[in-house]
Structure 1
Amino acid sequence: MTMEDFCKMAAEMDQRVRQLTGEGITGGELIHRMAGHIPDLQRLWEGASDQQLAKLCQDYPGFYHYASLMEEAAEAERANPTKKYLEMPQLNAPFKSLLAALLTDAATLELGYQALIEGAKRDGMGGKLNELNQRHRIWLAERERFVGALKETGVPTIVLEVVVPALDQMADRVAQLEKRVIAG
């Protein structure tokens, strides 16, 4: 990945953190709402050099805030592991990839709808709504296929108890943003 790729990911995280903190969302709830950005954050941590990360943190304060919160949460989990997550097996590679794609796509949908909300407030913009709605329907279908595949393969119940509610919450947030755009 190039620095341009890293900047794009950091800018998206920065934008979403700013939107959420503007709505008064902080701390653990901010981490929860940013779950869709975890795959990109991991790609940044693994792919960017220390100097590149420092530059991204300097240029994108929302990204820095989110990365710091995630680092603090990871340290807290290492210091005092949650029993539920200790018992949870890792997903196999294909399921990990599908889950990462679902998370990333949900984050993209949230950003898109939020941009329409903010754009409509400024200048009556609303041109991309049909495209976003179509992508949202596709995402919902992919989510259902993913959950169905998890159930069919007989993954341990703990996986379903963690993954399915997280995806459901993301779906609810995206649906709420969609409703706000339509109502606006």
Structure 2
Amino acid sequence: MSQIVAAIDLRVVQLEKQGVTGMALANQMMGHMADLQMIYNTASDRDLRKLCQRFPGFGRYAMLMEEVSEQNQTMAMSGTHPYGDLPDLPEPLKTALVHVLRAAADLERDFQATADDGRGDNQGRLTTARWRWADDLEKLIYQFQSAELPLQTQALVQQIIKATAERIGRMG
């Protein structure tokens, strides 16, 4: 678990150095949401506090996501959530989407760490990982196009994936 928390912490610090905060940070960290949820589900409150103290970037991300969650709940309860009427994704699509977003988050973090290092010795590995990610992305897009989902769901997923792909394209 510490390895996942350290990865989240590193990416938050990287993004904050670039001036990315608030909802922009939450949007760019979307690939880490499943990991954050897993940590919430498995760590005790005491362990969570310790992780937040040891990894301040992780703590800031966790607090931000708590705020986002509370806002979502408030909007859902008041009937003003823009996506409140969308059905849950079928499990195979949800799993594939989480996989692609998580891999994108790892790729972005690794590209940034290589840029921060100033060394290019990881470039070949990153290029290969990027190609693999692009292949997984194509498969995901095909799965979504083949599924019978509301147009609003497809548009939302396309928006998320497009923004993620653009960020990775700029990095590599």
1:118-129 equivalences in 2 (<5 Å): 118-120=116-118, 125-129=119-123
1:62 aligned to which of 28, 39, 57: 57
Structure 2 SS opposite 1:84: coil
Residue by residue over 1:105-164, the C-alpha shift from the partner in whole angstroms, topping out at 9 and shown as x without a partner, is: 0000001100110011xxxx1111111111111111211111111111221112111111
1:28-43 equivalences in 2 (<5 Å): 28-43=23-38
Count of aligned positions: 169
Q: Tell me which amino acid in the other structure corresponds to 1:106.
A: A
Structure 2 SS opposite 1:147: helix
Spell out structure 1 runs of 4+ moving beyond 4 A: none
Q: Which runs of 5+ in 2 are unaligned?
A: none
Asked if 1:71 corresponds to 2:62, the answer is no
1:126-165 equivalences in 2 (<5 Å): 126-165=120-159
Identity %: 33
- Cα RMSD (Å): 1.1
Q: Which runs of 5+ in 1 are unaligned?
A: 1-5, 179-184
TM-score (norm 1): 0.88
2:87 is aligned to 89
Equivalent pair of 1:110/1:174 in contact (CA under 8 Å): yes
The whole-number CA distance in structure 2 between the counterparts of 1:164 and 1:41 is 23
1:49 aligned to which of 37, 41, 44: 44
Q: Tell me which amino acid in the other structure corresponds to 1:29.
A: A
Q: Tell me which amino acid in the other structure corresponds to 1:56.
A: L
1:8 is aligned to 3
Equivalent pair of 1:39/1:103 in contact (CA under 8 Å): no
